[in-house]
Amino acid sequence: MTCLHGRHINPIILAGLDGNNWCIGDYMRRGGYSALKKVLSEKIPPEQIVNELKKSALRGRGGAGFPTGLKWSFMPKSFTGEKYLICNSDEGEPGTFKDRDIMRYNPHSVIEGMAIAAYAMGAKTGYNYVHGEVWDCYERMEVALEEARAAGFVGDNILGSDFSFQLYNHHGYGAYICGEETALLDSLEGKKGMPRFKPPFPASYGLYGKPTTVNNTETLACVPWIVLNGGEKFLSMGRPNSGGTKIFSVCGHVNQPGNYEVPLGTPFAKLLELAGGMRGGKKFKACIPGGSSMPVLPAHIMLATDMDYDSIAKAGSMLGSGGVIIMDETVCMVKALLRLSYFYFEESCGQCTPCREGTGWLYRVVNRIEHGQGKQEDLDLLVNVADNIAGRTICALGDAAALPVKSFITHFREEFEHHIESKQCLVPTYA
Amino acid sequence: MNAPMILSPEALAKIDKATTKYPPGQKRSAVMAALTIAQDEKGWLSTETMDFVAQCLGMPPIAVYEVATFYSMYDLQPVGKYKISLCTNLPCALSGANAAADYLKKKLAIDFNETTGDGQFTLKQGECFGACGDAPVLLVNNKRMCSFMTREKLEKLLAELK
Amino acid sequence: MLDLEIDGKQIEVKEGSTIMDAANQLGIFIPHFCYHRKLSIAANCRMCLVQVEKAPKPLPACATPVMGGMKVFTHSDEAVNAQKGVMEFLLINHPLDCPICDQGGECLLQDLAVGYGGSSSRYEEEKRVVADKNLGPLIATDMTRCIHCTRCVRFGQEIAGIMELGMVGRGEHAEILTFVGKTVDSELSGNMIDLCPVGALTSKPFRYTARTWELSRRKSISPHDSLGSNLIVQVKDNRVMRVLPRDNEEINECWLSDKDRYSYEGLNSEERLTRPMLKQDGEWKEVEWQTALEFIAEGLKRIRATHGAEAIGALATPHSTLEELYLLQKLMRGLGSGNVDFRLRQCDFSAELQGAPWLGMKIAEISQLDRVLVVGSMLRKDHPLLSNRLRQAAKRGTHINLINAVDDALLMKIEHKVIVAPREMVKTLAEVLKATAEAKNKPCAFSAQLAALNPSQEARRIAESLASGNKAAVFLGNLAQNHPQSAALHALAQELASLLGAKFGFFGEAANSVGGYIAGVVPFGTPAGKHAKAMLEDPLKAYLLLNTEVELDCHNPREAVAAMRKAELVVAMSAYRHKAAEYAHVLLPIAPFTETAGTFINTEGRAQSFNGTVKPLAETRPAWKVLRVLGNLLGLAGFEQDSIEQVRAEILPDAGADLAQRLDNRLRRQILAAVEIPAADGLQRIGEVPVYSADAIVRRAASLQKTRDARAPVAWMPGVLYERLKLRDGDKVKLTQEQGSATLEARRDDTLPQNCVRAASAHSMTAELGAMFGEITLERAT
Ligand SMILES: Cc1cc2nc3c(=O)[nH]c(=O)nc-3n(C[C@H](O)[C@H](O)[C@H](O)COP(=O)(O)O)c2cc1C
Ligand code: SF4
Ligand code: FES
């Protein structure tokens, strides 16, 4: 079990879970669905919920960290047609595995969060897009959804109110890019998951061309707590501009990989300690703090940083999805970058030129360096090609492919140079 | 015109049910579900099967083909009875995925994207499953995830599947 | 309106415009590949990145909406740097062997690479190689050159209305292809070649036959359907090598149908007739022009002397030029005969029109209609680009309604339709008329005949649809015009349109379907004479055939050939050797449209004149000159013209300024005999003209003849019939009409109306059969 012990700090979503208590009865015993009941019985005006979210400083947990309340307020209020709410559970960002645990251990928190979000935005239909590789989560969500329907929390006239909300699960089948919200929408429409150019943004032209909001699983799972306890309380748990707790997925060279829900602003050192410290007592070398798409940082910088949006940004990376990849002294940074470059090359959807052509180029050059065929000019070439991709693509996958390359070279240039000069690794290969 | 039934009535019923999740006129939203159901039944997706799915959902066949080739878990070539996809992405690699890969390749005497001579196993290299905390992780036939795949656990798994 | 500034120039644009739109208005070129003004915006090539003040990164001009006060820089360092970066990416996997590429010299990538590419590549890795695909006989592929702009895919989805090409796979593995083993069969497919900015999709027939700089380009007009598409004919060594569209927003926009594009192969056909020929003692002999023409003149004089001028008739196809048609009838009338006609596939001549039948509006106005009823048309195949106008209108919400004998996929949303046997079409249209009169609560001209009718649900729905619009139109297609009761359909359609306050028009059958009337190749001038059907039913002694292959161009080929065989003199003026060899006495090689000057008046009544693009082949002569000389030999007055312009001036005195007044679809007398279905319990043939059989040139276009649309005719029949005969696919059936028969493969099509057999006409395999929509019998072939 990865996340269920009392190893979090003030958890909200992962509180009280033992791995088996995911059913609706368990959830309600923990106070579940009382937020939805409160909203409907007290007829809380939708704007008030949106305001509460704004106050909470809840930021999107999917990677971009966009303020959730603000995003909800973009949904056209006067629009009377169909509007959609999408939960993005297509968690595929290397290093990130929190949504999986939310879905399998606390699925009703997502359902309740979605019902409230739908109420707040006037959406009548919702879809939860589940990553294809975590099929058991899809099945778990299907069961949980049946429970919620049977209990009247989803469907027509929820709890006797005039609020109706139809919710369905949709599964992916192996495409990282579908985590990008507009690729996800195309995928839901039965097409290839190709990101759309924005504008128009989903809030005006989303699923089936209708106003749509996409939120991450974790983002939505926070919503019931905020409704029950108030935005200010949530804000006060974290840092200004970084309200609440965040689930960090810690993986790599630590003793206890797993999910840790801690208040935003918790020092990185504390998080590392929670995760049992470095595996085998080895020396901490580097960390990617926000999922593989974010810049890597050397250990000394990480150890001086707190885990919240602004602090990590100041340190030169991003909080992203909260996937914390820890690497010890045995890791060859060229080889590590090679694997990531291969990933973006493989997962590029292929529609826009810089990403389709550039990711392969990056991968091949890093591959050459790794295999002793690099040249000194290659490092500048890599940086330049990365610059020619970043910011010039339809979606942020281009940036995601470029940032690791640039940050690895910036922080570990001597390792790359050593590879090129002596045609071998500075560090022994890792197992 | 009256194409032969490629899929069983049970599979068709499942596809029908999947289409009810989407608004009227948006049947094609169920194409991923339909292809998954078809692949579960057939083992892989032949042109014939995809044509049939296209017909069921009223889509141009090429649009189905586009979808089937875009998502990596669809197999457009026959695979072994057990398709083992191992995640080798960085987080898993940090926790033993490469050793697991080496073990599987040696034990089954095949490389990635190959099938054993007896048609039992196909080995695939997977990208992040979103389960990096449990590394190394692998999927058996797309749907069964196995975690913390140490050498011993791999051995046990192969013995169980053989 | 929004103000913005591009490269320091101010401009005001409509709300919703993109930076690209604004730049286009200013005449500023922004490099691009995926953007095309007729297609949806994909923004995937990224070539059009520009700098926008205050934007943190360069933005694609094609997709970025203009905001008031925007300042755009298309040539700043940031913009050019971004564009160069994209160009480098596009080139890393693109072969740099322009000299051997078929697109070399006319390639957007090549052109832009000159301005935006680096001098040498920094890419040292291996280049991607992509397998070529067989897309069919018309499009050649070189897929390694593909830059993934998806223009071809979007064209299929958005313009052709059918997705045949897709981009499969992902990332670098993404490639453009059809579904496994399938070909591209759209009748508009060649446009993908024009759209492809690189050499990935090129013309298969043209492949490696010439380089673009070796070709001279001449303007011309399509001689095929009635749209009058504007062409560029490309010529090398006095041979037509390729045909491309010439933009004309009011007619063909930037498109061409495959028929217009690839028919040129027929111009270079082996079957071209190169010398005048005379049949002497049953043997064909090549002769001098003078000999042939004197022979004809004497023959005509002799026949006139013995049988009277009324024993001579002329049959022309509507693919002939205005000038040819005019001189033909002038010659006939000079001889004293009014037996002239070009309406060879028509069989009901009882309608008397006030003018030349036409579209009833400008072609471009189709795009503004909101309600349409089309009666009797193989719309997509007969009129590929008019059909596209309707498709685009349907996308914007125009209701397209249909009364037809077949239910072929039109690849557009059809609001309501009634598919009935041809013999039931009059009744169906009458039902719609009655339902409309009821819906509008207005009296209608034929209330007596309609009294007993009880409109069907579907007829009522069509009526409701039509009545609910503001800009409606009723059109009669080729099938309706060639229908045994075309006059009744005409009368009903006209009345329906007038009840609705709608436009009423004909989709003309061919390039000069309007021009034939204007030229007077109709038997109601002075002297009046017999129409096409009468001339063949009751054989004459002599026939002049202009471009006509009677066995393929007439409503009843069997009857037509029989008439020819009985005649004393048959003169076949044609660009080709053909079956006339069996029944004619003289063969005269006349020029196809590329070898003569002429005029076509298209279905909207627009006269478009053109000059020849190559010299006539061998002894070939322009038909207008042949007819003029023949007129002189016959001693007729009025054949002194020295130039085509003089001929044209006789027909269109003010350069066509009065043409509009000569167009009129109205009937002189509103007649309607009966609307009841003629009592008949036999099977009715649906004998449509296949798209690539419609005229002499296209019939000989080798590549088009290899397409799916040119497959040998089969006998399509509804399930009841199919089962009654216990047929299985592949079985053959014998079709019989009058005394002629044809044996075709049987196929089932459950969308066909009961009691109908669909068997194409205008094809050698069905030339023994009779009328296009006649009774037909059917038995299993042994
Ligand atoms: C390449 C790429 C992959 C992404 N993957 C995910 C993902 O797996 N899960 C997710 O929630 N968001 C992902 N995102 C971010 C989404 O586009 C979107 O910002 C997010 O779902 C919005 O939800 P939030 O505001 O609650 O964070 C991805 C973005 C990109 C560019
Ligand atoms: S950046 Fe890559 S993944 Fe994103 S749209 Fe472009 S090609 Fe697709
Ligand atoms: S033309 Fe703008 S992105 Fe291709």
Write out pLDDT tens, residues C597-624: 999 999 999 999 999 999 999 999 999 9
> Which of C20, C40, C46 to substitute to test the interface with A, most A CBs within 10 Å?
C46
Buried residues in A143-182 as b, exposed as e (16+ CB within 10 A): ebbebbeebebbeeebeeeebebbbbbbbbbbbbbbbbbb
- Cβ of B77 under 8 Å from any chain C Cβ? no
Give the pair of three-digit tokens for residue B146.
């196995």
In the block, which residue shows the tokens 């875009």?
Answer: B70
H helices of C93-177, where? 108-116, 151-155
Give the pair of three-digit tokens for residue C204.
């298969």
Q: Same domain for B62 and B86?
A: no
Q: Same domain for B30 and B98?
A: no
Domain boundary among B26, B48, B70: B70
Q: Same domain for B146 and B91?
A: yes
The reply to whether residue C166 touches residue B1, judged by beta carbons under 8 angstroms, is no
CATH number where B66 lies? 1.10.10.1590
- Does B4 fall in a domain? no
pLDDT at C482: 98
- List residues bridging with C776 in a β-sheet: C683
Q: Same domain for B56 and B100?
A: no
What residue in C sits closest to B61 (Cα-Cα)? C179
The pLDDT confidence band at residue A429, using thresholds 50, 70 and 90, is: low
How far, in Å, CA of A103 to CA of A143, rounded? Answer: 11
- List residues bridging with C230 in a β-sheet: C221
Q: Which of B32, B95, B99 sits opposite A252 (nearest CB)?
A: B95
Q: β-strand A266-267 against A306-307: which pairing, if any?
A: antiparallel
pLDDT at C115: 84
Give the pair of three-digit tokens for residue C470.
């503001």
Q: Which domain holds residue B133?
A: 82-161
In the block, which residue shows the tokens 């006539």?
Answer: C616
Domain boundary among B70, B101, B119: B70
Report whether C268 contacts C239 (CB < 8 A). Answer: yes
Average pLDDT, chain C: 96
How far, in Å, CA of C304 to CA of C312, rounded? Answer: 7
- Does B35 fall in a domain? yes
Distance from CA of B23 to the nearest CA of A (A): 9
- Does B130 fall in a domain? yes
What residue in C sits closest to A390 (Cα-Cα)? C57
Q: Same domain for B116 and B155?
A: yes
Q: Same domain for B66 and B132?
A: no
- Does B75 fall in a domain? no
Q: Same domain for B61 and B95?
A: no
The pLDDT confidence band at residue A5, using thresholds 50, 70 and 90, is: low
Contact list, A381 vs chain C (CB under 8 Å): 122
- Chains in contact with B, counting 3 or more C-beta pairs less than 8 Å apart as contact: A, C
Give the pair of three-digit tokens for residue A186.
């195309």
- Cβ of B66 under 8 Å from any chain A Cβ? yes
Q: Same domain for B100 and B34?
A: no
Over the stretch A48-104, which tens digit does the pLDDT of each residue have?
999 999 999 999 999 999 999 999 999 999 999 999 999 999 999 999 999 999 999
pLDDT score of B1 more than 50: no
Q: Which of C18, C24, C48, C147 to mutate to test the pocket of ligand 3 (most atoms within 8 A of CB)?
A: C48
Average pLDDT, chain A: 96
Cis status of the peptide bond prior to C527, with omega within 30 of 0? yes
Q: Which of C34, C72, C154 to mutate to test the pocket of ligand 3 (most atoms within 8 A of CB)?
A: C34
pLDDT at A428: 67
Report whether C156 contacts C185 (CB < 8 A). Answer: no
Q: Which of B47, B63, B70 sits opposite C170 (nearest CB)?
A: B70
Show the low-confidence residues of chain C (pLDDT under 50). Answer: none
Distance from CA of B51 to the nearest CA of C (A): 9
- Does B50 fall in a domain? yes
How far, in Å, CA of A192 to CA of A183, rounded? Answer: 8
> Which of B35, B51, B62 to substitute to test the interface with C, most C CBs within 10 Å?
B62
Ligand nearest to the CA of A203: 1
What residue in A sits closest to B66 (Cα-Cα)? A192
Over the stretch A255-303, which tens digit does the pLDDT of each residue have?
999 999 999 999 999 999 999 999 999 999 999 999 999 999 999 999 9
Give the pair of three-digit tokens for residue A343.
């990933």
CA distance readout (Å), C222 to C140, C599, C698 = 24, 10, 11
Q: Which of B59, B91, B145 sits opposite A251 (nearest CB)?
A: B91
Q: How far is the centre of ligand 1, averaged over its atoms, from the C-alpha of B151 (Å)? A: 34
Q: How far is the centre of ligand 1, averaged over its atoms, from the C-alpha of B84 (Å)? A: 28
How far, in Å, CA of C122 to CA of A73, rounded? Answer: 47
Q: Same domain for B129 and B154?
A: yes
The reply to whether residue B129 touches residue A131, judged by beta carbons under 8 angstroms, is yes
Q: Same domain for B50 and B88?
A: no
- Does B142 fall in a domain? yes
Domain boundary among B70, B103, B119: B70
Phi, psi of C125 (to 5 degrees): -80, 175
- Does B77 fall in a domain? no
pLDDT score of A1 more than 50: no
Give me the number of domains chain B comprises.
2
How far, in Å, CA of A347 to CA of A293, rounded? Answer: 12
DSSP state, residue B28: G
Give the pair of three-digit tokens for residue C609.
């004149």
User: Which value does ipTM take for this structure?
Assistant: 0.95
- Does B157 fall in a domain? yes
How far, in Å, CA of A31 to CA of A179, rounded? Answer: 31
Give the CA angle between residues C630, C633, C635 to the nearest 5°.
110
Q: How far is the centre of ligand 1, averaged over its atoms, from the C-alpha of A113 (Å)? A: 17
CATH number where B156 lies? 3.40.30.10
Q: Same domain for B51 and B102?
A: no
Over the stretch A14-33, which tens digit does the pLDDT of each residue have?
999 999 999 999 999 999 99
Work out which ligand 2 atom sits closest to the CA atom of A359: 2
Q: Which of B33, B73, B130 sits opposite A100 (nearest CB)?
A: B130
Q: Same domain for B90 and B143?
A: yes
What DSSP string runs through C235-276? EETTEEEEEEE--BTTTTBT---HHHHHGGGGGG-TTB--S-
pLDDT at B2: 47
